[in-house]
Structure 1
């Protein structure tokens, strides 16, 4: 009975893992993230400057500045994807929003003892889609470098992070600001991203460079590492197999998918095996859109570890071998020097004539 239960648990774990693998593959295949940030600088009396910048999948899309109120596009084909009329409409909306930033700066700075002191207000928004469906959406409000409020659009409730400014929460939850927030997230965050994704990829796809290694910790157990570098797009699947089978083999940790400075991505997953597992017959399986099919990377053989006493004996023997070699070299040098001196004396004595020259 217990044996059947054990088999059922192993079967259930493997089946759940397989389901998780395919679910992860489906959800990651068309995942995109858009981040927009607006920064306004001003005093209690005037608005000095507004800057905006937009990123999608860690690639800069464009920027905006109110000094010369225009949208600067960083991707050459974006006007084709978005349409000129669409960009003109968004520029007009940004110009209209300038009065909203001005009102916020002046309202929050109205009690400042120095009316000429500069303040900075920031709006940071991010949204994510999977297969064209919005899955995440957040807004953060930052004042002079400190986050005051944030909201998860799915929850729909502002979270206050500074008790002294909780008195402003009713303003954020008013119908006017609620509609403005939803308009911003729909038009600037989600709509832009959907139009761009529907037109083209932001950059060429790059397959991952994969390295697999094995090391032994002081306790004698094996730690396997599988590292994928420089890949794009972000979606990737990495898993461990033993003898070609899925399973839960040990303690697994992941770095998470991290961005590189060149807009590619990095991922490392390690597997710490129990002491009774030799680490043989493991492979790292990588799936990425540029690999066309899953790539298999075997784990190299377990490095041999010398016992401490063996290592100590080897060091001592090496030391004495070096000493003996040095001694033999010194002896040889002395003999060579002695032989050369004898020849020189013999030459002088044999060269002396039996009688003085006339």
Structure 2
């Protein structure tokens, strides 16, 4: 085939077209990845049963997504309550009816853990509480956590990580039902229900709309000298939503390990936002200069870089003790002057 022939030109065009098409797909995937990165969501299902050895007295179920209550069920009312109106549209009447029928159908099955709790109780009218806590988490649409906890009379008895697939006995006194939990029927049911009612249900809801407005973190950085002379750097991020956040220390713009780093873990605030504190303890020889706290969150267009204040505050116990002592002396002096004045006034009268 001669160079420059129509067939060669056609083949070259096809190759170029395929290259541009592949490159376009790649670019779109990169932008889609950037759009969805750091998207972390958590779904928690709580089932609580109260009853005696004879019957179930109370049964309630609560669904929380990203710590926001979305759906609840109560045995007394025998109805599913939707906390956020648009969720009814997302789930649809058929799905809600299926969920309701499932709860009513398995209501009697919640009696067996109550009977287990009351097996040695001579008072058959005593109330016992059994709880099932199911939690799942997704990060960038990938399931990263899927756990079930069985809690009887306030004490966790069994726990399973669906990835591992083995029930862990937490309470040594509760050993009578592992053969049920490990049975193929129960194993298949838990996997199915966790996928359908925990993971898939959450994806369906968060895929329609955010449950609340996203909020960027408020960040504060400080440093002080400990009583032992070491430098303590602190970086606090609070008031942010969603929960997913990354915080780390850099020195002169570089990652590394320079001291003992610790973290509070991501904790909830009262307003359903979150809080995280990371600290770095440096040796007394390190001045703390050049350190920055780097924060990455979906609501920040780029990683936030926060410098450490240059002058540390000295935190010495003897300064506090001296201040308290001076305050006590001043108070006693004032009291003495008042007593003398009162005594003189009394003598004159």
Q: Which residue of 1 aligns with 2:209?
A: 200
Structure 1 residues 199, 35: CA separation in 2 closer, same or farther (over 3 Å shift)? same
Give the secondary structure class of the aligned counterpart of 1:290: coil
Q: Which residue of 1 aligns with 2:169?
A: 160
1:50, distance to aligned residue in structure 2 (A): 0.3
Q: 1:66 to 1:243 in 2, by over 3 A?
A: same
Matches within 5 A, 1:279-298: 279-298=288-307
Q: Is the 8 A contact 1:28 1:236 kept in 2?
A: no
Question: How has the CA–CA distance of structure 1 residues 104 and 302 changed in structure 2, closer, same or farther, with 3 Å as cutoff?
Answer: same
Aligned to 2:284: 275
Quick one: distance in 2 between partners of 1:304 and 1:37? 46
Q: C-alpha offsets along residues 81-128 of structure 1, whole Å, 9 cap, x if unaligned?
A: 222221121111111111211344345535532222211111111111
The change in CA–CA distance for 1:26 and 1:267 in structure 2 (over 3 A counts) is farther
Whether 1:231 and 2:246 are equivalent positions in the alignment is: no
Aligned to 1:251: 260
Is 1:63 the counterpart of 2:78? The answer is no
Query: Does 2:131 align with 1:122?
Result: yes
Change (3 A) 1:69 1:207: same
Given that 2:237 and 2:275 are in contact with CA atoms closer than 8 Å, whether structure 1 keeps it comes out as: yes
Query: Tell me, what secondary structure is at the counterpart of 1:215?
Result: strand
8 Å CA contact 2:138, 2:144 repeated in 1: yes
Structure 1 residues 306 and 55, CA gap change in structure 2 (3 angstroms): closer
In 2: Cα distance, 1:123 partner to 1:104 partner: 10
CA distance in 1, matches of 2:113, 2:255: 55
> In 2, Cα distance between the equivalents of 1:307 and 1:73?
54
Q: Deviations over 1:2-39 (max 9, x none)?
A: xxxxxxxxxxxxxxxxxxxxxxx999712211111111
Residues 290 and 308 in structure 2, CA contact (< 8 A), matched pair in contact too: yes
For the 8 Å contact 1:34–1:126, the answer to whether it is kept is: yes
Compute the displacement of 1:233 (Å). 0.7
Pairs aligned (count): 286
- CA offset digits 1:221-266 (Å, max 9, x no partner): 3211111111111111212222222222222111111111111000
Gaps of 5+ in 2: 1-33, 324-349
Query: What aligned pairs does 1:327-338 form with structure 2 within 5 A after superposition?
Result: none
Contact 2:51 2:127 in 1 (8 A): yes
SS at match of 1:83: helix
Q: Does the CA contact (< 8 Å) of 2:225 and 2:315 recur in 1? A: no
Please identify the structure whose Cα radius of gyration is greater: 1
Distance 1:280 1:36 in 2: 47
Kindly report which structure 2 residues correspond to 1:1-358, keeping only aligned pairs within 5 A, or say none. Answer: 29-106=38-115, 108-303=117-312
**How many Å separate the matches in 1 of 2:174 and 2:295?**
48
For the 8 Å contact 1:214–1:224, the answer to whether it is kept is yes
CA-atom RMSD in angstroms: 2.6
8 A Cα contact 1:35 1:127, kept in partner: yes
TM-score (norm 1): 0.73
Separation (CA, whole Å) in 2 of partners of 1:265 and 1:301: 28
2: CA distance between counterparts of 1:80 and 1:127? Answer: 23
Which residue number corresponds to residue 346 of structure 2?
Answer: none
CA contact (8 A) 1:62 1:71 kept: yes
Which stretch of the first structure deviates more once superposed, 142-151 or 259-268? 142-151
Separation of aligned partners in 1, 2:316 and 2:41? 51
Per-residue CA deviations over 1:126-147 (Å, capped at 9, x if unaligned) read: 1112222222211111222222
Deviations 1:197-217 (A, max 9, x none): 211111101111111111112
Q: Secondary structure at the match of 2:103?
A: helix
Contact 1:28 1:235 (C-alpha < 8 Å) held by counterparts: no
Q: Report deviation, 1:151.
A: 1.3
Report the Cα offset of residue 48 of structure 1.
1.0
Cα 1:110–1:217 change in 2 (3 A) is closer
Alpha-carbon separation, structure 2, partners of 1:186 and 1:227: 35
